[in-house]
Chain A
Amino acid sequence: MTTLATTPHRSELPAPASARSRLRASRPRWNTSGTILLAVCTVTVLLPLYVTVSMAFKTTEQAVDGNAFSLPAPVSVQGFVQAWQLTDFPVGLAMSLLVTAGTVAATILLAAVASFAIMRNWERRLFRWSFFYLLGAMFIPFPVVALPQIQLTGRLGLDNPLGVIVLATMFQLSFSVLLFTAFLRSIPLELEESARIDGATTWQTFWKLIFPLLAPMSATVGIFAFLYAWNDFMMPSLIISDPGLQTLPVRQQLFQTQFSNNYNVSFASYLMAMAPAIVAYLFTQRWVMEGVTQGAVKG
């Protein structure tokens, strides 16, 4: 988290010999302003997280006493028990996982295939226009098309998690295609030509060569799709008609009422819902970073 300045600054070089040796002998210096800035940024993340965790373990009485930062005393797991029962947590979690996994997988696959086809046929008008068509979806937010989508999914028997997967994938597609196409530009065409000389078909080229090369970008696309699908409230709430198949965010809406505050129950529930997202991020952040740097350095 701290930035270390190990190399002496250029302007300090013509300093007297004694000063220079002192400089070399001294331990690496703190970049004070940078450290403070980063520490403040860290607090904005850690403080809400702390409140979430401590609230979740409070009793209802302590949760409403107006001291958000106090430590739970006594520690109570009643919030978790109630949240678990009220949201039917295992089922909600399963539905959220299903929707998220489906959206992530479908987004990565479809966006990769579409980008490959578009980039390798860029000179054809149909493909070029289909790229713009896909990008156009970026300008249409879900609420604008919510009503027709509700009717449409209802008529097609898609008023369930499957419908949410289809729609969420569609809305994720434009941004993902944008990322993939940019990345594909950096993959030299010669690689593909050599594969073709060895007798590979287009499908084989894609599966055996291009798709593995796209892996870092797939991770980035996957993470964006994950965050979107996991946190989305509006689409599942409107599209899924059977309450037994609702996702977690929709089930948790129960806790936000005008007249009643049950902070301990709500925060326990939010904590349980956050856990998979945090775990997923811990395991995949390495690939996100790789994706960013690999996209930046050509070749």
Chain B
Amino acid sequence: MTGGALGITLTAGLLVGCGPGDGGPEDVRFTFSKREAIPYMTQVVDDYNASQDAVRVELDTSGVDVVSASFVRGNPPDLMLANYNHEVARFVDRCTLTDLGDTRAASRIRPDLQPLMDQYGRCEGRTSALPYSVMAASVIYNKEIFAEHHLEVPQTWSELIEVADTLEQAGETPFYGTFKDDWTVAQGWFDYAVGGQVDTLDFFDRLAAEGADVGPRSAVSFEKDLAGPLEQMTQLAGYVNDDAASRGYGDGNLAFAQGGAAMYLQGPWAFSEIAKTAPDLELGTFPLPMTEDPADLKVRVNVDLAAIVPEGSHHQDAARDFLEYLYRPEVIEGYNESQLGYTPTADAPPPSDPRLAGMTDYYDDGKVYQGASVLVPKTIPVMPYTQGIAFGEDVDDVMRTLDEDWARLARRQ
């Protein structure tokens, strides 16, 4: 009985809520589900709601599945800050998002980030998504261990091997491997090794052009272009802790915080986890050198959050108003400062955290790439494949499988 009454009130509420000009503030549903940042965003929403009374923003933290369902149902959120990946890009590809190209926020975004956004998908003639937070990832290293053994940050592949050898001879573990969690192999080992010497933008463009013909006879293939870097990756994987195969992400953070290894191939998200155990540990970052030329050094980035306004939203103008608020320098820079992200607007200062200092120059110079593992469509199980390589499978075999998967998927589409 209560359920029935509730249902009726809800339906009535929805209908009333949709009618414009009913006197009260316009409701905007804002989806945001990055758990660590919910307190910050709650504060932003509260501040915005208090600053005016035309729009009332409601924060929705219920996650990505719920959003997909709401698109199916036809009542998507009015504004969304989402991790930008292939799943969100599907909404871009199908042109279900409004053009944000004419917003003030869009005019302030660094133009060199656009190719990274387009790499996932695009809707012709529209700026469907605006980057809000960019995460840069590279090798995390323990400054105390490096200082103890008088080591400098390596700039070339041979320097890196030298550092690893020195550490090993001194009885330290050079790298901490958490191969039990396949995503850590893909995100760190695979992506850094590939991105450090292959131009991923160009590689995936050519791969897409080749389509169903990718294979032993094509001009570009995983086997031809990635086998070299991955052989280097297997060489590095020889310097990990003995129990790497049975260690997961959580174990890695704990061990690294306790000084269990000198280097750790993880992103900035691991800093807050490491800090749970060792809040004062001195950590730094540097891009993984894969060649003998320091000019090749690059850091892996991903668009951690992008702003989108779906076409199905009934409150697009109000959503845009809040969007402009979110892109105010103090809000967006404050957000990225607190989450160790880089602000994608052209005039923004880099995050002040010393742990990120090793990556800032590369980000400012645009020496960045997106991880190869996230650019492969999710239907191809690339993460277990990379894990297989870490466990000692033959690189060429795995790359051939990847080529076949890619060609098969291209044929089907």
A residues neighboring B (CB under 8 Å): 60-61, 64-66, 86, 98, 102, 147, 150-151, 153-154, 157-163, 165, 234, 237-239, 241-246, 250-251, 253-255, 257-261
Q: Which of B372-390 contact A (CB under 8 A)?
A: none
- A selection of 13 A-B contacts at a CB cut-off of 8 Å is A64-B273, A64-B276, A86-B38, A150-B69, A157-B7, A160-B10, A237-B66, A238-B66, A241-B75, A243-B29, A243-B58, A250-B62, A254-B38
Q: Which of B32-80 contact A (CB under 8 A)?
A: 33, 35-36, 38, 58, 60-63, 65-66, 69-70, 72-75
B7–A160 CB distance below 8 A? yes
Pick the interface stretch among B147-155, B250-258, B319-327: B250-258
B contact residues around A98 at 8 Å (CB):
2-3, 6
Looking at the complex, which one of A60, A160, A161, A246 makes contact with B62 (CB distance below 8 Å)?
Answer: A246
B413 contacts the other chain (Cβ, under 8 Å)? no
B73–A162 CB distance below 8 A? no
A162–B14 CB distance below 8 A? no
B169 contacts the other chain (Cβ, under 8 Å)? no
Distance between Cα atoms of A238 and B7 in the complex (Å): 17
**Beyond known contacts A254-B35, A261-B250: 8 more, CB 8 A cutoff:** A60-B276, A150-B73, A159-B73, A160-B11, A234-B65, A238-B69, A243-B58, A255-B35
B residues neighboring A (CB under 8 Å): 2-4, 6-7, 10-11, 14, 29, 33, 35-36, 38, 58, 60-63, 65-66, 69-70, 72-75, 183, 249-251, 253-254, 267, 269-270, 272-273, 276-277
B contact residues around A60 at 8 Å (CB):
276
A contact residues around B58 at 8 Å (CB):
243-244
B254–A241 CB distance below 8 A? no
B261 smallest CB distance to A (angstroms)? 15
Looking at the complex, which one of A154, A163, A253, A260 makes contact with B63 (CB distance below 8 Å)?
Answer: A253
A241 smallest CB distance to B (angstroms)? 6
A251–B62 CB distance below 8 A? yes
B154 smallest CB distance to A (angstroms)? 26
B contact residues around A251 at 8 Å (CB):
62
Task: Give chain B's interface secondary structure class.
Answer: helix
A contact residues around B3 at 8 Å (CB):
98, 102, 161-162, 165
Closest to A262 in B: B35
A150–B7 CB distance below 8 A? no
Distance between Cα atoms of A68 and B70 in the complex (Å): 38
A257–B277 CB distance below 8 A? no
A contact residues around B73 at 8 Å (CB):
150-151, 153-154, 159, 241
A40 smallest CB distance to B (angstroms)? 25
A243–B183 CB distance below 8 A? no
B6–A162 CB distance below 8 A? yes
Query: A243 and B61 in contact (CB under 8 A), knowing A151-B73, A237-B69, A259-B269?
Result: yes
B273–A259 CB distance below 8 A? yes
Query: A258 and B7 in contact (CB under 8 A), knowing A150-B69, A238-B66, A243-B61?
Result: no
B contact residues around A147 at 8 Å (CB):
72
Distance between Cα atoms of A294 and B378 in the complex (Å): 52
Query: A250 and B277 in contact (CB under 8 A), knowing A161-B6, A258-B183, A259-B269?
Result: no
A154–B273 CB distance below 8 A? no
Query: A159 and B75 in contact (CB under 8 A), knowing A102-B3, A239-B69, A259-B270?
Result: yes
B contact residues around A244 at 8 Å (CB):
58
B contact residues around A86 at 8 Å (CB):
38
B contact residues around A245 at 8 Å (CB):
10
B contact residues around A153 at 8 Å (CB):
73
Looking at the complex, which one of A64, A159, A163 makes contact with B277 (CB distance below 8 Å)?
Answer: A64
Closest to A256 in B: B35
B contact residues around A157 at 8 Å (CB):
7, 10-11, 14
Distance between Cα atoms of A64 and B279 in the complex (Å): 13
B contact residues around A165 at 8 Å (CB):
3
Distance between Cα atoms of A149 and B11 in the complex (Å): 17
Distance between Cα atoms of A60 and B60 in the complex (Å): 25
B35–A65 CB distance below 8 A? no
Looking at the complex, which one of B6, B65, B272, B277 makes contact with A260 (CB distance below 8 Å)?
Answer: B272
Query: A61 and B277 in contact (CB under 8 A), knowing A154-B73, A243-B60?
Result: yes
Closest to B61 in A: A254
Closest to B33 in A: A254
B contact residues around A160 at 8 Å (CB):
6-7, 10-11
B contact residues around A260 at 8 Å (CB):
35-36, 269, 272-273
Distance between Cα atoms of A253 and B63 in the complex (Å): 8
Closest to B253 in A: A64
Complex A-B, nearest 4 residue pairs according to Cβ-Cβ distance, in ascending order? A154-B73, A162-B7, A157-B11, A259-B269
A130 smallest CB distance to B (angstroms)? 25
A154–B66 CB distance below 8 A? no
Distance between Cα atoms of A161 and B4 in the complex (Å): 10
Distance between Cα atoms of A163 and B2 in the complex (Å): 13
Distance between Cα atoms of A157 and B72 in the complex (Å): 14
A60 smallest CB distance to B (angstroms)? 6
Closest to A158 in B: B7
